[in-house]
Structure 1
Amino acid sequence: MAAHRRPATVRAAVLLVLAWMGILGATVALLAAVVVPRLAGATPYAVLTSSMEPTLPPGTLVVARPVATDDIGVGDVITYQLASGRVLTATHRVTAIEQRLDGDRSLVTQGDANPVADPEPVRPVQVRGELWYAVPYLGYAHRWLTGAQRATLTLVIVGGLSVYALAMFAGAWRDRARSRPVSR
């Protein structure tokens, strides 16, 4: 049975715990912001304003999953383009559903912290998705990094975690080899 090694000092133990917390935190952030949305076909967005406080304060990362407009109901939180075909988006709650004269539905939206509804109803073509989940504070990092920088950071974190895992396995193998009795 292999002997369990103890850290030499309290400082070493604290550093080890902090290192593992950092690794776990980076892994969870990477999963929440990049891996899970990509696998599910969802898109991450950063909340930039206080219009959805206290539910979604600025700096929150929201992940919106594509959804059919007919499946959206009053009370759902959606992310939509402010103008069709434009990059700028907003994430607000649906407060009413209107039937347009052309037969299409339009969604009346309003931020939780806003006293009145948004001035223009949202057309189905503008809807990017329905809120799937949100992660506080992770939106700041999402906002600061461009798509290419996020991809590079993802590769660096995955590479770093892989190198760390290999080093841990190599150290365990070395320790096991040292602890074996020499037979003649």
Structure 2
Amino acid sequence: MFKRTISFVIKSFVGLLCLGVLFVFIQSQQQSESTPNLFGFSALTILSNSMQPEFSEGDVIFIKQTEASDLVKDDIITFGTPEGNRVTHRITETNTQENQLSFTTKGDNNNVIDAEPVQEGQVIGKVLFHIPKLGFLSRFLSEPIGFGLVIVLPLVAYVGITVYERLSKPKSTKNEEAI
């Protein structure tokens, strides 16, 4: 009984995790102009070295949707640009003009501040933490060969082994079970 309960819990957790990943994937495909999120949390890959040594190209950052009024100097934020890009830089200064909040930002590895201040409506979220180099794995998995090697091949192997084990299991008769 205990073994079945543990098995059910593990399978349920893996199933929910897969549904969450599928949800974020579908959302990112349908809403390419907005940042995909799950319960207000998003994962993005760093594409440049403007925030070194904090983040490097290929790192994955996890951000949480945050109200602009909750942000302070030295917070690292991700924001959208008018061109549709996403940028992750550190707040160097907060400004309020005519009840409108804006932020001066700068990449840690850049020599000058960003040319345009970030308006509160542009803020996507605040960086919570990062995982170094995970973005390279993500990029590899998004290619057909990577997806096949890491996802499809092990899945096919698992199904094949399971089918083989079930077919090769000796069938017990009712007489054997009664003894």
Which range, TM-score by smaller chain? 0.5 to 0.7
Residue in 1 aligned with 2:115?
119
Matched, 1:90 2:87: yes
Residue in 2 aligned with 1:139?
135
Q: Structure 1 vs Structure 2: percent identity of aligned residues?
A: 28
Normalising by structure 1, report the TM-score: 0.59
Normalising by structure 2, report the TM-score: 0.61
Counterpart-to-counterpart distance in 2, 1:165 and 1:40: 32
Counterpart-to-counterpart distance in 1, 2:117 and 2:140: 30
Counterpart-to-counterpart distance in 2, 1:132 and 1:168: 41
Check 1:140–1:71 CA distance in 2 against 1; reply closer, same or farther (3 A cut). same
Residue in 2 aligned with 1:167?
160
Check 1:54–1:88 CA distance in 2 against 1; reply closer, same or farther (3 A cut). same
Is the contact between residue 63 and residue 133 of structure 1 (CA under 8 Å) also seen in structure 2?
A: yes
Higher RCO (C-alpha 8 Å, min separation 6)? 1
Q: RMSD value over aligned CA atoms?
A: 3.8
Check 1:109–1:144 CA distance in 2 against 1; reply closer, same or farther (3 A cut). farther
Is the contact between residue 46 and residue 143 of structure 1 (CA under 8 Å) also seen in structure 2?
A: no
Q: Which runs of 4+ in 1 moved over 4 A?
A: 34-38, 141-146, 159-162, 178-184
Aligned length: 145
C-alpha deviation, 1:41, in angstroms: 3.7
Question: What is the identity, as a one-letter code, of the residue corresponding to 1:59?
Answer: G
Is the contact between residue 45 and residue 142 of structure 1 (CA under 8 Å) also seen in structure 2?
A: no
Residue in 1 aligned with 2:27?
none
Counterpart-to-counterpart distance in 1, 2:171 and 2:129: 48
What secondary structure sits across from 2:118 in the alignment? coil
**Please, which runs of 5 or more residues in structure 1 have no aligned partner?**
1-26
Matched, 1:58 2:57: yes
C-alpha deviation, 1:110, in angstroms: 1.4
Matched, 1:69 2:65: no
Question: What is the identity, as a one-letter code, of the residue corresponding to 2:163?
Answer: A
Question: Quick check: 112-121 or 64-73, which moved more?
Answer: 112-121
C-alpha deviation, 1:129, in angstroms: 1.4
Question: What is the identity, as a one-letter code, of the residue corresponding to 1:90?
Answer: V
Question: What is the identity, as a one-letter code, of the residue corresponding to 2:78?
Answer: T
Counterpart-to-counterpart distance in 1, 2:153 and 2:107: 40
Counterpart-to-counterpart distance in 2, 1:115 and 1:38: 32
Question: What is the identity, as a one-letter code, of the residue corresponding to 1:67?
Answer: T
Counterpart-to-counterpart distance in 1, 2:116 and 2:38: 33
C-alpha deviation, 1:68, in angstroms: 0.9
Is the contact between residue 62 and residue 139 of structure 1 (CA under 8 Å) also seen in structure 2?
A: no
